[in-house]
Amino acid sequence: MSTATLTPVPAKTAGPPPTKPKRRRGWVFHAVMAPLTLLWVAPMVFVLVLAFRSFDDIAANGTAAWPVSLSLEGFREALGRGTMGRALWTSVQVTVPAVLLSLLLASWAAYALSRFHIPGRRAILLTMLAGNLLPPQILLIPVSRVMESLGIYDTLYALVAIHVGFGLGFYTFVLHGFMRSIPEELTEAARIDGAGVVQIYARIIMPLCRPSLAALGALATTWIFNDLIWAITVLRTEAKLPVTAALLNLQGGYVSNWNVVAAASVIAAVPTAIVFFAFQRHFVSGLLMGSSK
Amino acid sequence: MTALAAPPRKKRLRAVPKVVWFFLLIPAAVEIGMVFWPAVNSFYLSLTEWNGLGAAKPVGLDNFKNLFADDIFRGALWNNVIWAIGFGGLSVLGGLALAVALNRPRRGVGLYRSAIYLPMVFSLAVTGLFWRVQYQPDGTINTLLGAVGLESVEKQWLANPDTALYAVLIAAVWRQVGYVMVLYLAGLKSTDPTLDDAAATDGAGPWQRFRYVTWPQLRGVNTVVFAVTVIDSLRTFDIVWAMTQGGPYHSSELLSTYMFQQGFTFLNLGYASAIAVVIFALALIFIITYLVRATKEEVA
């Protein structure tokens, strides 16, 4: 690796000596990247600040002004009358079971397809993946009909069901790739020792899959938590809407209360940001599994 | 190729245990019920006229004929083309440039990378609201323009039919660039650094090295990024719904938002299904691209 030569030498002298091109390049790099990065995070910072301003302040000085005082008014309003508090809880109730169920079912399918000679297993795998790549628009209307005929339309079960069904193909594909890389000898040895198919799955395969399950879990959590289109497709009652959909409703109700709208979007953004920071490494590797591997 | 499938596999050819079938069939049944069966139904519904009550009335290809005479649909289709090119082009250019800039480890790179892919964790709806705030008449964008003496450029960005689509597009790109950057960073990691060093020793400039040494090695990633971006841009719904709902006067209407309106606001279920079928047809080629690539990886 040639990285050593490229790292700018930490020197105490002020002012770059003009004879060291490497060092000057490092300075240019930061001169471009630092403002760009600031520009990138500026919208987030701005919304965060706005969320902590009072309505009177915004009304008097406009949304783009410096805050004159900090207030929790926006958050109080958003969580209370704006129903974001309830919506957060709804989202948890949908996201947790949907993620767990998706990964469980996907691991079953991946196990079956990766360890056994099921006829046409490649075709099955790719078909399942293809299902996940379909544009959701082609499913919306029939899915709401399917939920009606199952008697779960406008319930959170419907939302969990569609998240599980729609995500399965992708999760299966990724887990399959991982399970295939587990050496045959390992499971073969367990089989000779008398372990059954289910035991091998539970005691050997699943523990070994923990890294990819974590990555997929982080990814699935943000996808499901962030979903909008399925929620507004299978739910009708406003009181049942999860965070993202509730946020849009709130926006309609608080047209010029920008502090409330900003606070509500911060509330909707915080959980995924936490997942992101807690699982940053998993998260990035999860994204890569999906696309370039 | 033919010799590969011979004897060593024999041991694995024993019968598949019954319980394994359950392992496969339960997930498969869920996916069939939630995805494939509904998808097939959409094709059928696209050939009917239906408001959700009673039986759907078959009308043959009428919906599709009406679609192509429908100015809003044609506008949405055109907007989708602009969207795919703008959203795809800008996020690929931005993501690739940033990946190249942030590829080699040096001080601060981790911080820059995190900041740039942070927006990706927010939902598209949250992103939409974040940017709605900036685009307000007295929001940051107009204020900044005013501060540098460009009052004449100030606009109601989202309420102006000339700018609404592009205003939404910028917000979407802001979120997507980090994702594309991550993909390219991975791609760059798998390139051979010695080639680059060799080219540098031979006196190749940075642009030449990128163009003739690095770029050819990114072919695989490019295919994936291309397919993913186009599929994503055909799916785009949330951010438009959050920012403009397709307005004003359908100026930011995409196929997906128009489909949703027809289906769930006006209950023209047959007509909406026909739009969905068009979206599917457009996505199909890119889905196949992605699958072919996935297959290659499976084999490798």
Contacting residues of A for B19, CB less than 8 Å apart: 197-198
Q: Is B43 a domain residue? A: no
pLDDT surpassing 60 at residue A90: yes
A14 or B243: whose pLDDT is higher? B243
Enter the pTM of the model. 0.85
A65 or B218: whose pLDDT is higher? B218
Q: Map out the domains of chain A as residue ranges.
A: 85-291
Class of A85-291 per CATH?
Answer: mainly alpha
Q: Rounded to a whole number, what is the distance in angstroms from the first to the last CA of chain B?
A: 13
pLDDT of residue B300: 53
Q: Which of B20, B141, B185, B271 to mutate to test the interface with A (most CBs of A within 10 A)?
A: B20
pLDDT of residue B14: 61
Quick check: B220 and A292 CB within 8 A? yes
Q: Is B37 a domain residue? A: no
State the average pLDDT over residues A234-259.
Answer: 87
pLDDT of residue B42: 93
Residue in chain A closest to B287 (alpha carbons) equals A133
State the average pLDDT over residues A168-196.
Answer: 90
Closest by Cα among A137, A139, A218 to A171: A218
pLDDT of residue A83: 85
pLDDT tens over chain B, length 300 residues: 444 444 444 444 567 888 999 999 999 999 999 999 999 999 999 999 998 888 888 888 989 999 999 999 999 999 999 999 999 999 999 999 999 888 888 888 888 888 888 888 888 989 998 898 888 888 888 888 888 877 777 778 888 888 999 999 999 999 999 889 988 988 888 888 888 888 888 888 888 888 888 888 888 788 888 878 888 888 889 999 999 988 788 899 999 999 999 999 999 999 999 999 999 998 888 888 878 877 776 655
pLDDT of residue A290: 55
Residues of the domain holding B203: 60-299
Contacting residues of B for A29, CB less than 8 Å apart: 101, 106
pLDDT surpassing 70 at residue A23: no
CATH code for the domain of B121: 1.10.3720.10
pLDDT surpassing 90 at residue A111: yes
Contacting residues of B for A8, CB less than 8 Å apart: 106-107
pLDDT of residue B274: 94
Quick check: A112 and B263 CB within 8 A? no
CB-closest option in A111, A133, A287 to B179: A287
pLDDT of residue B79: 93
Number of domains composing chain B: 1
Contacting residues of A for B37, CB less than 8 Å apart: 142, 146
Q: Is B30 a domain residue? A: no
Q: Is B80 a domain residue? A: yes
pLDDT surpassing 90 at residue A141: yes
Q: B126, A47 in Cβ contact below 8 A?
A: no
- Whether ipTM > 0.90 holds is no
Contacting residues of A for B290, CB less than 8 Å apart: 133
Residue in chain A closest to B267 (alpha carbons) equals A141
Runs of H (alpha helix) within B70-139: 71-101, 109-117, 124-135
Contacts 24+ apart (CB under 8 A), A273-281: A273/B118, A273/B121, A273/B122, A275/A218, A275/A221, A275/A222, A275/A225, A275/B121, A276/A218, A276/A222, A276/B118, A276/B121, A279/A214, A279/A215, A279/A217, A279/A218, A280/B114
Q: For chain A, say whether B18 makes contact (Cβ under 8 Å).
A: no
